[in-house]
Every structure is written in structure tokens, then in C-alpha cells.
Amino acid sequence: MKVSMIALTLAACVAGSVAHAAVLPAPAADANSSQSAPVGQPQWSANAAGVAPKTRAQVRHELVQAENDGQLANLNRSLYSGG
């Protein structure tokens, strides 16, 4: 019983990973089509935008600043009170 469950689980994982990793081919372009495919755009990432990761001290400073100017209280009221 355990062997069959393990085999079934393994088969399901393999099938899922194959389906997840499959790349769909791009549709063929029609010469009469008025729509053209968009030119490949680079995928956005934090490193591509030139933004350096924040240090723990910088994040802590932003948190204290948000608490002092009331921004954090305003966010808590608007997000968690349903208003």
C-alpha cells in the first residue's frame, strides 16, 4: 500500500513538474493580421532598476519615521478597519 502511494505521488510530481516546465511555442504570425506581437521587453527585476537592497538600519529608520509622522497609524486604520 505504501509503495503504491509513493509511486503515485512520485508520478503526480513528475507530471506536474513537466507540465509546469513546458514552454508553449509562440503562435505563427499571420501576414494579413493587423496586430503585431510586442517586441521582447526585458523582465523587470530589482537589480535591473539599479536599486540597492536596504540595510536593516535603513528599514528600522523608515519604520520609526512612519510611526512618528502618523503614516503607519493611517495605514493600519485604512487597511485593517475596513475603511
Query: pLDDT per residue over 7-64, tens digit each?
Result: 888 888 777 776 666 666 666 655 555 555 556 666 666 565 667 899 999 999 999 9
pLDDT of residue 32: 57
Q: Which three cell numbers stand for residue 80?
A: 485593517
The verdict on pTM exceeding 0.85 is no
pLDDT of residue 23: 60
pLDDT band at 66 (very low <50, low <70, confident <90, very high): very high
Long-range contacts, stretch 27-34, CB < 8 angstroms, 24+ apart: none
Q: Tell me how far CA of residue 19 lies from CA of 10, 12, 13, 46, in angstroms.
A: 14, 11, 10, 28
- Separation CA 74–CA 66 (nearest Å): 10
- Separation CA 38–CA 29 (nearest Å): 12
Q: Do the Cβ atoms of 63 and 72 come closer than 8 Å?
A: yes
pLDDT band at 2 (very low <50, low <70, confident <90, very high): confident
